[in-house]
Structure 1
C-alpha cells in the first residue's frame, strides 16, 4: 500500500501473532503503524512501529488509540480455541462490546476505514459446505456450538451495518468490510500449532475422526496479511470504495484434507502419525461431555479440554469456500505454501520429539475426571426420567 501523506493504521489485537506480522508488513511499506493490545507482542517491535497498551473493553482507551488514524484493522478477539471458548462473559465483552467500541471510536475520531477480521464460522456450524460463497446467510446464532463463533457473527453484523455512517467530527463516511478467515498457520504461529505439538508430545494424538475425504481450508499468515492490506486499499476513494459493506472469504488456494495437511508437520517433528479413526459423533459426544465437566469443576480446576465441540466440527466436517469475490474485487492472489516449510521453523526453535513420563499426567487426570462424570451422568439420567 502506497503511503498517502504519512498514513497511520491502527491494528487492534496488534500484540498477537497475526497483528504483529501485519504491522511489520505495513511498516515496511512506509505506513505509520500503531499496535493496540492488552499485552505487548512476544516479538521485538521494529523501528517505526508504536505500541499502545490498552483494553478494548474501555471506550475511552480505544478512542485515544484511534486518534489521528486513517484506517483501523480490527483483529482483536477472545475465545478462539480450547478452554477460552468456554469463557462466555469475557468472550461477549471483548468480541461484541469491544467491536462496538471500535465502531464508536472510528465515528468520534473521524477514522474513515475499518477492516474487520472475521471467521468462516459466521456461516458454519457443523453442516457440510462445499464451495460456499458470500451469498450464504449467517448461521442462526442459537445454532453455534461455541461462544466465539456466535459473538464473531454478531460483531461482523455490527461492522457491516456501520458502513456508510457519517463521521462525527469531520466530513465523510465510515467505510467497513469483513474478511472471513480460515484457520491460520505459519512459522511462529502461537496458538494452534504449539497446542498440537503439546498434545502430540504428551502422546495424546492417538486417533483421527470424521470422513476419510474431509475437506477444509487453511490460510497462511502471509496470505492473510496480504488480504488485509488489499481490503484497506479497497475501502479508499481511489478504489471507489469497492469493498464497502461487504464480507470476503479468505483462505489458501485449495481445500485440503485436515489430517493429511497436518501429517508433514507432525511427522517432520519426529512423531508417529495415528491411523486409527473414530466416528465423528463419538468424538463430538466426548467433547460435549468434557465441556459440561469443565463448566462444573472450573472454579476448582480449569483444565484444557483435548477438543471442544466447535473444534470437532471445524476439523472433522467438510467446509470450504469460493474465493472468487476476494480475487476479483480485492485483487487477492494467495501464494502457495507448504506445511513442511512451517515445520522447519519449529524444528529450528527446538520443537520435536521429547516425550517425558510426567507430561501426560495432567491430561490423564482430566480424562479420569471426564470418565467419572460420564459414569455419574449415565447413572443419574434413568432416575431423572423415571
Structure 2
C-alpha cells in the first residue's frame, strides 16, 4: 500500500483514544492527526468503523489508508479487548462513551466505574506511561449552591442529584488514585458545559425544548453566570495535558484541572444566542427556581408511584440546576501547569456551532417570518392593547402591579366586611385626602424634584368620552335586538342559551358573589397567559372535545321521540334560506 508523504513521521508515537467516535473523541482524533506525530488508534464500542458522509476524503480517511490511524472494537467492560487496543501504545486518552446507559443504574456503573477500573488495569499490564481522563466539572457540583471561581481542591459533594455525575466522580477518583503505580502517570480534565459542532447533548436538548415550546421559559432570575467550553479547546487541553505529563510530571500527575473558555457568560444569554442563531425566540418568561424544582419532584413522584412518565429525571434535574445556579471556575491552574489557553473564542465557537446545526434550524416559511410580530389568539381575544400586555404578562412589573391593585380592591370591597356603599365612600375619602395632601408637597424636597399632577389628568378627553358613549349605545342596541328576537319566539336555540346563561348566573350569584369575583380575578391573570403558552395543545383538546360532543349529540338525537325530532327539524328548517327549504319540501 502506497503511503502519503505528508503522513511520514520517523518518530511517530502510538496513542489510543478510548471513545474515539464520540463527540469529544472525534475532535481529539482529528487534532492528533493534524499534529502529524502520532499513530492514532481509535477505540469505540461499534463493531466496525463506518465513516460519515462528511468524513469521506477527509484527514481521517487518508490517515486510515496511510496506516496512521486504525480502529479497534472495544467494550470497556471487557478488559481483554482494552488490552488488545492498548498494547504497544504510550498514551491513552480516555474520553466519554456515548453508550453509557443513563436510564439503567447497573449498566451505567459498569460502563463508567467498572470501565475505569478495567482501563487502569489494562494500562498497567501494557506498560502505558500516561493516561489522561476526560472528566467533567459536574463532579464537584450538586446543584444546591453556587460555585463562583471554583478551584481544583473543591471536594466531591456527598450527594449528587444526577447519577451520571456521581459515577463520573467515582471514575475520576479511581484514575487519580492510580497515579504513579507501575509507572503509570494520570491526570483528569474537567471541562465545563462543552459545546460545538456534532454536540449530542447540550445543543440538541435546547433545540428540542424550543420545538416543544418550553425554551421560552427562564428558570430563576436569568442573571446567573456559567463557564462554557468549545469542543476544540477541550481537545487542545488534552494535548497540553499529555505534554505536561511528559515534561512537568510532579505538578500535573495525579491532579485534576478545570477547563473553560476563560470567559464566563450568563447562562441564559448563551442559550438565547444559540436559539436566535437557529431561528427560535429568545427565552423571555421567568419562572421561580423553587416552583420548577417542586414540579420536577412531583413528576418524579408520579413516575415512581404510577410508572408512567416520558421524561428523564436526571437530565432535567441537571439542566434545571445549571440553568438557575452560578457555576464558574478558576482557570489559573490549567493555564500555568498545563500551558493551556483557549484557541477558539466564545464568539467564534458559538458561530461555528450554529453553522454546524443548520439542519436543526427552524424553517423560515412565510408564516414563520411574521411569527415575531403576529398576534397570538390570546392577544386577539384581549384586543391587542394595554389590557393584553397586562394579562399576558408582557411587562412583569406592570402586570404584577395591576394584579396587586386588583387584589387590594377585591379585599377592600368584598373581604373587609363592609357594605358596598360604605366601601366606595371610604375609598373616595382616602383618595380625596391623598390628593389634597399631595397638593401641599413642595416642588423640591432636598434636591429631589416632585412632579405635580396637572389638571388635564382629571379631565377625560373628547375621544374617551365619545368611545365610552358609543360603547354604551352599542350594548343598549344589542340588548334591544336580543330582546326583540326573544319576543318573536322564532329561535328556540337562542332562547335555551339565554335561559341557561341567566340560570347559571343566578346560581353563581346566589351562592357567593365574592367567590365568583375572586375566581374571575385569578382566571384573568392566569388563563390567557397559559393559553398563549400552550395554544396548540389547548386548541387540539378543544377540537377533540367539540367533536366528541357533536358525536354524543347525534347519538342522543337518534334516540329522541319522533315528535321531538320533528319539532327540532322544523325549527332548524325555519332558519334556512327559502330556496333551501323549498328544495327540501
2:169 matches 1:153: yes
1:221 aligns with: 231
Query: Pairwise CA RMSD of aligned residues?
Result: 2.8
Please point out which of 99, 115, 119 is paired with 1:102.
119
1:10 aligned residue: 16
Normalized per residue, which structure has more helix?
2
- Cα separation, partners in 2 of 1:270 and 1:76, compared to 1, 3 Å: closer
Give the aligned partner of residue 565 of structure 2: none
Q: Distance in 2 between matches of 1:306 and 1:114?
A: 29
CA distance in 2, matches of 1:350, 1:318: 28
1:186 equivalent in structure 2: 196
> Cα gap change, 1:98/1:295 in structure 2, threshold over 3 Å: closer, same or farther?
farther
- How far apart, in 2, do the equivalents of 1:322 and 1:150 lie? 22
| Cα pair 1:269 1:353 within 8 Å, conserved | no
- Asked if the contact 2:191–2:229 (Cα under 8 Å) also holds between the matched residues in 1, the reply is yes
- For the Cα contact (< 8 Å) 1:215–1:319, is it kept in 2? yes
TM alignment of 1:104-143, pairs within 5 A: 104-126=121-143, 127-140=145-158, 143=159
The aligned counterpart of 2:334 is 326
Cα deviation, 1:36-76, whole Å, max 9, x if unaligned, reads 11135764343232221221111111111111111111113
- Greater shift, 188-197 or 145-154, is seen at 188-197
> How far is 1:186 from its partner?
1.1
What's the secondary structure of 1:50's corresponding residue? strand
Structure 2 gaps of 5+ residues are: 1-8, 368-533, 542-585
Contact 2:186 2:254 in 1 (8 A): yes
Q: Quick one: structure 1 residues 305 and 7, their matched pair in 2 at CA, closer, same or farther if it must change by over 3 Å?
A: same
| CA deviation after TM superposition for structure 1 residue 341, in Å | 3.7
CA distance in 2 between counterparts of 1:4 and 1:130 reads 47
Q: For the Cα contact (< 8 Å) 1:211–1:317, is it kept in 2?
A: no
Whole-angstrom CA distance in 2 between matches of 1:307 and 1:285 = 16
Contact 1:8 1:34 (8 Å CA) reproduced: yes
Q: Alpha-carbon deviation of 1:116?
A: 0.6
Q: C-alpha separation between the residues in 2 aligned to 1:354 and 1:79?
A: 35
Deviations 1:115-155 (A, max 9, x none): 01111122111111111101211212xx1001111111111
Question: For structure 1, which segment, 116-125 or 196-205, has the greater mean C-alpha deviation from structure 2 after superposition?
Answer: 196-205
Structure 1 CA distance, aligned partners of 2:69 and 2:301? 43
> Aligned match of 1:165 in 165, 181, 187?
181
1:110 counterpart SS class: coil
Among 51, 57, 62, which residue is 2:82 paired with? 62
Equivalent runs, 1:350-361 vs 2, <5 Å: 351-353=361-363
Work out whether residues 201 and 354 of structure 1, in 8 Å CA contact, stay in contact via their aligned partners in 2.
Answer: no
Work out the CA distance in 2 between the residues paired with 1:281 and 1:271.
Answer: 26
TM-score, with structure 1 as normaliser: 0.82
- Which residue does the alignment assign to 1:373? none
Alignment partners' CA distance in 1, 2:304 and 2:27:
35
Cα 1:155–1:306 change in 2 (3 A) is closer
CA distance in 2, matches of 1:225, 1:326: 13
Distance 1:136 1:221 in 2: 24
Instruction: Pick which of 206-215 and 319-328 moved more.
Output: 206-215
The structure whose Rg is larger is: 2
Q: Which residue of 2 aligns with 1:280?
A: 289
What corresponds to 2:94 in structure 1? 74
Matched, 1:35 2:42: yes
Mapped partners of 1:233, 1:248: distance in 2: 14
The count of aligned residue pairs is 345
Corresponding residue for residue 259 of structure 1: 268
1:57–1:295 Cα change, 3 Å: farther
Change (3 A) 1:72 1:213: same
Q: Which of 320, 327, 346 in structure 2 is aligned with 1:337?
A: 346
TM-superposed CA distance for 1:303, in Å, is 4.7
Partner of 1:52: 72
CA distance in 2, matches of 1:258, 1:60: 43
